[in-house]
Amino acid sequence: MSNRMWGGRFASGPAEIMEEINASIGFDRRLAPQDIRGSLAHVAMLGKKGILPADDVAAISDGLKSVEAEIARGEFAYRRELEDIHMAVESRLTEIVGPTAGRLHTARSRNDQVATDMRLWVRDTLDALDAQVAELQRVLAESAEKYAATVMPGFTHLQSAQPVTFGHHCLAYVEMLARDRGRFRDARARLNECPLGAAALAGTSFPIDRHAVAAALGFDRPTANSLDSVADRDFALESLAAASICAVHLSRFAEELVVWTSAQFGFVKLSDRFTTGSSIMPQKRNPDAAELVRAKAGRIVGALTGLLIVMKGLPLAYSKDMQEDKEGTFDALQSLSLCLAAMTGMVRDLEPVTETLKCAAGSGYATATDLADWLVRELGMPFRQAHHVTGRVVAAAAERGVGLEELPLDAMREIEPQITDAVFAVLGVENSVASRTSYGGTAPDNVRVQAQAWLAKLAPVEKVDGGAGTGMESAAFMERPAELS
């Protein structure tokens, strides 16, 4: 193969190993829709500015649409010797419309072309991820409302700490995911500038209209510096950073599901739809979906780390190293999409074992803080003194092998004579959670109000622009409900 795409500078084709390391069409082929979209906007602008004659613009546009249709039908031949999707599309366009296809590359370079394609792909993917995170928030909020009064243990250091409700626990992830959506929105807003027209690195001498191309592709504006336009991938890095944080949130929840579904905990049940069996132990029901969500967080964080290392030593402007931005970004964001789908399915599927949760909520003297608060509230005792008294009461209960609510009043009075039988009202787990009425607390009434506010906020919103969208039609989902502000 000769280097025919590069013209007269090269007399022979690349070495086989050069072709092996250089080709990217095996993975950048997924940029085909974005590449054609960008080319259509570019050629339309060239026509409007009089840089290309109308007949050429029409021929190229029709040819690009034919290529787009072939790709959609699965009939497009991705030829490895053409190196990347940009050359593959241009080569097929040449077969369809002849030499006129060569005019498409007027006033642009592959450098600004690929930077634009990547921004478009990342933007499209962030919009899709935003919708998925919103759906996960919805199912969590539905569970929160349903299980607003289902008592469960709250942990610190994975040790029983204080009773909370299952609904309150679900809402904790709704809040985390809301911040994830905010990070996706911020990343999207910063990437929404169009590099096309920056050319290789210095701009172009043709009288192009970069603002028109940016508007046609749904960008807010063109990038302001031609060097920066082709030299940086911070939009991908920021998106991967946001994806990594979201993946960590999902991983933490997945870890809880792994623990909660174990025989030792038995807090929740997952059906056959999200568990697998063992090849040798017929009794096993393994939470493999949760385990894989947990594992894929490493894959997503790894993509961020990998791209940071690729970029850290590159001089301006473009270097071939930057071809390595694609595989990791594609894989990470699509892995996150899969994790979100799996987690949403598991939340819909899981069933809390309410009696086990209630029993566990009262273990480990989880209402000790309620006793200390009662001593402060009813006896006017300084909290540090109440903490000390409560510790002695817990020790006495532990010595007898009973819970705080089972310790006789006389035994408590031996430690603090002012304690009355009214104290038993705060030692039950239901009473404990019901008393936590402070803003953001676990009281069932609080949980219901928050769950209902989130569900109202997360109601689907129809797009109003009728086109590709700006991604902001879902922005209302990302903010905290006014009721919770």
How many CB atoms neighbour CB 223 within 10 A? 23
Q: Which residues pair with 159 in a beta bridge?
A: 156
Among the listed residues 141, 248, 126, the one whose alpha carbon sits nearest the alpha carbon of residue 182: 126
End-to-end CA distance of the chain: 64
Active site residue 485: no
Catalytic residue among 157, 205, 279, 485: 157
Burial of 447 (0-12, 13-18, 19+ CB in 10 A): buried
Sequence-distant contacts of 303-311: CB under 8 A, at least 24 apart: 303/240, 303/328, 303/329, 303/331, 303/332, 304/237, 304/240, 304/241, 304/243, 304/244, 304/332, 307/233, 307/236, 307/237, 307/240, 308/237, 311/232, 311/233, 311/237
- Alpha-carbon Rg for the chain in angstroms: 30
Active site residue 251: no
Asked if 102 and 46 touch (Cβ cutoff 8 Å), the reply is no
Is the backbone peptide bond immediately before 317 cis, with ω within 30 degrees of 0?
yes
How many CB atoms neighbour CB 50 within 10 A? 9
Asked if 153 and 363 touch (Cβ cutoff 8 Å), the reply is yes
Catalytic residue among 2, 262, 271, 278: 278
Asked if 269 and 353 touch (Cβ cutoff 8 Å), the reply is yes
Residue 344 structure tokens: 């949403």
- The catalytic site residues sit at 157, 278
